[in-house]
Chain A
Amino acid sequence: MKTIRVSVIGFGAVGQGVARVLIDKKDYLEKMGLDFKVVAVADSRTAVIDDNGVDLSSVLVRKQNEGVVGSEKITGLEIIETIDHDLVVETTPTNIVTGGVGLQNMLAAFKHGRDLVTSNKGPLAMKYCELIEAARAGGSHFRFEATVGGAMPVLNLAKDVLAGNTITNVEGIFNGTCNYILTRMTEEHAPYEQMLAEAQELGYAETDPTYDVEGIDTACKLVILANCVFGMNASHEDVTITGITKITPEALLLAQNEGYAIKLIGEVNDSRINVSPKLVPIDHPLAVGGSLNVASVQTDLSGPITVTGRGAGSIETASAILSDMISIYRD
C-alpha cells in the first residue's frame, strides 16, 4: 500500500466534492494500492490538521453546519509551507486578475517539491509557463484536468490518450452556464435576461454572471488548452472574445429554421484562440443541449474525436481531480 499525504486547500463545492469522493472511493483506491491520507484541510478562514489523517466526514458536517472546516487559524499557504505532505489539492476559487491565493499556493507547493492537482484555472490562464517551470524545478507532478470541462476529459485525452497524434484544432462548448441559457432561450423562445434569471435561480449562474456570459471563463479554458496541447505561451489577452448577451430569441429561431443551433463555441488552433457564438448544425456532435460541455479534438491520424460531459458540479469536478491524483501515483 502506498500512502500519499494530502492537503486540500480550498473547501468550497469542489473541495467538498474531493472529500466525498475520497470517502466513497476508499475501497476502490485501496484495491489499487493507494491510500490518500488527508493531513490538512483549509478553507478561506480556518483549517484542520491531523498528522494521522483528518476525519473527512466530520469536516464535511462541520463545514455544512458551521460554515468552517476547523478551528485552527492557519492559512492554506502556511499549510503548504510547513506541514509535511506529498500532494496539494488546490481548489480555491478562480481569480483571473491577480491569480489570487491559488497562484501563491501553487508556487509554494512546487518550491517545497510537493505534487499538485488543481481545478483552479485562474493561475494557469495567467502564468502557465511560469507554473510549469516551477513544477519542473521542484520535481513536482502537476496536473489540472479539472480546469477544463469539469468531468469531461480534454487535456489528458489530447496529451495522453491521443499521444502520437498531432492536434490541429480543438473546438467545443466549455461553459455550461451559457449552454443552459442558450438552450432554454431556444426552447422557451424567451429573451436572454429571463433565462439568465432562471439559470441564477437554479444555481447554474452566479449572481454576477459576467465571467460566464461574456465568454471569459471559456477564454481561460482555451488559454490552458492552447498552452498545454498546442505548446503556446498564451494568456487570456490573446483570446478574441464575444459573449452571448446580445443573442436574441429571434436569432435562435431563424437559426433553427435553417437547421442550426447557436452555441458559445471556443476554438483553438495554431492561428487563433477565439470565443464567439457560432452556428452549429443541429445534427452535429457539438450541438449538445442543457448545461453539457462538449469538445471536438481534430487530429491528424484519428480524425475528429468528440467527448461530451458535465462541465461543472462538485462531484463531477472532483472526479477529474481524483483521476489526476490516481494517475500520478498509480505506478
Chain B
Amino acid sequence: MRVSMDIELKDIPGQLLLALRPVSELKGNLISVVHHHEKRTPRGSIPVQLVFEIKPDKLNDIVSSLEESGIDIVRIDEKRFFEHGAVLLIGHIVHTDIQDTIDTIDKTGYAEVVDLNLSMPKINMASSASLKIDAISKEHMESAIALLREIAKKKDLLVIEPIKSIGVA
C-alpha cells in the first residue's frame, strides 16, 4: 500500500537519513521526499513529507523505528487502492445472487466493488448493472476482473470490460 506521512525533523545534520533508513530497511519503495527547509515550524523543526509504498504489515515497524529515533510523526495517510475500474454485467444478475457476486470480489482482499448501478426493465428480462471496482494495483484489477469473468460464466452473465488500450483504469 501507499503511505503518505508528514514528519518533523530536528535541524541538525543526519536527520533526513535517519528518517529514510527504516523505509529502505523494511523494503519499502520511496516515492517522494519533500523537505521544507524554509518552512520551519514554531518548534524550530523542519517539516518533511514522505510518500512510500510498503507491505501493510510493515507500517507499524516503520512508525516505531521513527519514534525511537526521536522523529515526530504529525500525520499518516494510507491509501490501499490505486486502480479504479468499471465493468458492465448483463443477465439475470439479481436472481443469480448479486451478493455472492460482489462478495467474491470483496473477499479477495485486493479488490472491492465500490459502486453498483442496477437497471431491471421487467420481470424475466435480463437486467444490466455497472460495477465500479477498486484494486491495489493494475495486476490485481486484472485478477479481479478475471475472477468476475469466471463467476459470470457460471451464472450465465455477460461481462463487458474496458478495452485494452486504456488498461483497466
Contact = CB atoms under 8 A, between A and B. Distances in A.
A279 B161 contact: yes
For this complex, into which size category does the number of interface residues on chain B fall?
20 to 34
Interface stretch (B29-37, B70-78, B86-94, B136-144): B86-94
A281 B160 contact: no
A255 interface: yes
Interface in A234-281: 242, 246-248, 250-251, 253-255, 257-258, 260, 262, 265, 267, 276-281
Contact of A246 (B87, B90, B119): B90
Q: Is the interface of B mostly helix, strand, loop or mixed?
A: strand
A265 B88 CA distance: 15
B162 interface: yes
B126 interface: yes
Given A171-B165, A257-B130, A279-B86, A250 B160 contact: no
A254 B161 contact: no
Contact of B88 (A255, A267, A284, A286): A255
Nearest to B132: A258
Contacts of A242: 158
B1 interface: no
Interface string A169-190: 1010000000000000000000
Nearest to A172: B163
A6 to B, nearest CB: 40
Nearest to B127: A250
A105 interface: no
B88 A296 contact: no
Given A171-B164, A254-B130, A281-B166, A260 B86 contact: yes
Nearest to B120: A250
Contacts of A251: 88, 90, 119, 128, 130, 160
B86 A258 contact: yes
A298 interface: yes
Nearest to A296: B165
12 contacts: A169-B164, A247-B158, A248-B119, A248-B128, A251-B119, A254-B119, A255-B88, A257-B130, A267-B164, A284-B163, A284-B165, A304-B165
Interface of B: 86-88, 90-91, 117, 119, 121, 126-130, 132, 158, 160-166
Interface of A: 169, 171, 242, 246-248, 250-251, 253-255, 257-258, 260, 262, 265, 267, 276-281, 284, 286, 296, 298, 304
